[in-house]
Amino acid sequence: MDNYNVQRDEADGPQNWLPVSITEPLEDGQATEVMIKERVIAVFRHEGRLFAMDGMCAHQGGPVAEGHVEHGCVTCPWHGWQYELKTGIQTINRQPLQETFQIREHDGVIEVLI
Ligand code: FES
C-alpha cells in the first residue's frame, strides 16, 4: 500500500487540501461525485465518517459514487466490483485498485488532499 501511494505522488506532483464543492450538506449514508483537479472523485459519508476515492471504477470506469455502500465497502453499480472505502482495496483480490484520498471537514467545508 505504501509503495502504491509513493508512485501516485511522484506521478501527480505535490498534493494540496482542496475544497469539495457541493451545494447541499452530505448526510450520513449519502455519496456524491465531484471534480477536483480535473479528476472525478467520489465522496462518501458512511457511518459518521468521510471517505474519498477515485470516482471512476478501476474495472471499466463505472460511477463509484452511485454504488451501494455497506459495511465500509462500496459496490460499483456496473459490474459489482467492491472496494473498501478506507483503503480502495478490491475485496476479492485484496489489491489496492481504487485510489483513495485523505479527507477532512472543518466548519462545514469538506476538503480532500489531492
Ligand atoms: S466498471 Fe465498476 S465493476 Fe465494472
Full pLDDT tens readout for the chain, 114 residues? 444 444 455 556 788 999 999 989 999 999 999 999 999 999 999 999 999 999 999 999 999 999 999 999 999 999 999 999 999 999 999 999 999 999 999 998 999 999
Amino acid residing at 41: I
Domain that holds residue 28: 2-113
Query: Is ligand 1 within 6 A of the CB of residue 34?
Result: no
pLDDT of residue 8: 55
Alpha-carbon radius of gyration of the chain: 13
For cell 483503503, name the residue: 87
- The span from the CA of 96 to the CA of 30, in Å, is 23
Distance 64 CA to ligand 1 centre (A): 8
Atom 4 in ligand 1: residue holding the nearest Cα = 79
CATH number at residue 75: 2.102.10.10
pLDDT of residue 77: 98
- Rounded to the nearest 5°, which phi and psi values hold at 84? -70, 130
How many domains does one find in the chain?
1
